[in-house]
Amino acid sequence: MKKLAGSALLLALLGGCVSTAATTPMARAPMISIPAGTGLGQVVGASAASLTHMFGAPIADVREGTARKLQFSNATCVLDTYLYPKGNGEPVVTYLDTRQTDGSPIDRASCVGALQIGRRK
């Protein structure tokens, strides 16, 4: 009986060690299949014209000095791209941010892929 009680106590203690990673916001982000030839590599360093070609017309275009923010969205996510000039050159994407349409986190590559897939339809 003592052995059974000891085993039950051990199981109860180990049960408290279970990871809660599945309850984090990132664990709930939808996984989207991304076709070859898409992704962050095409976005980082892209010009405004390239972004428009990839995603269509932005839903927001904000300029502040030489910096520019273009925002793209579909039913899956929102992509904010921040373009800054390199030297005297044309502004290009140096940073991007993504979120689901309800504000929850989503993987950046998944959002870019979802926007590109939606554009092809």
Which whole-number Å values give the CA distances from 27 to 24, 31, 39, 77, 87, in the listed order? 5, 10, 20, 16, 40
pTM assigned to the model: 0.68
pLDDT string in tens for the chain (121-residue length): 454 444 444 444 444 444 333 333 444 444 444 444 457 789 999 999 999 999 999 999 999 999 999 999 999 999 999 999 988 899 999 999 999 999 999 999 999 999 988 776 5
Q: Which fold has domain 30-120?
A: Beta-lactamase Inhibitory Protein; Chain:B, domain 1 (3.30.1450)
pLDDT at 13: 41
Domain boundaries, the chain: 30-120
How far apart, in whole angstroms, are the C-alpha atoms of residue 34 and residue 63? 30
pLDDT at 46: 95
As a whole number of angstroms, the distance between CA 22 and CA 34 comes to 23
Token code pair at residue 31: 């996984």
Under DSSP, the state recorded for 77 is E
Side-chain-facing half-sphere of 117: CA atoms under 13 Å? 15
* 79 within 8 A of 60, measured Cβ to Cβ: no
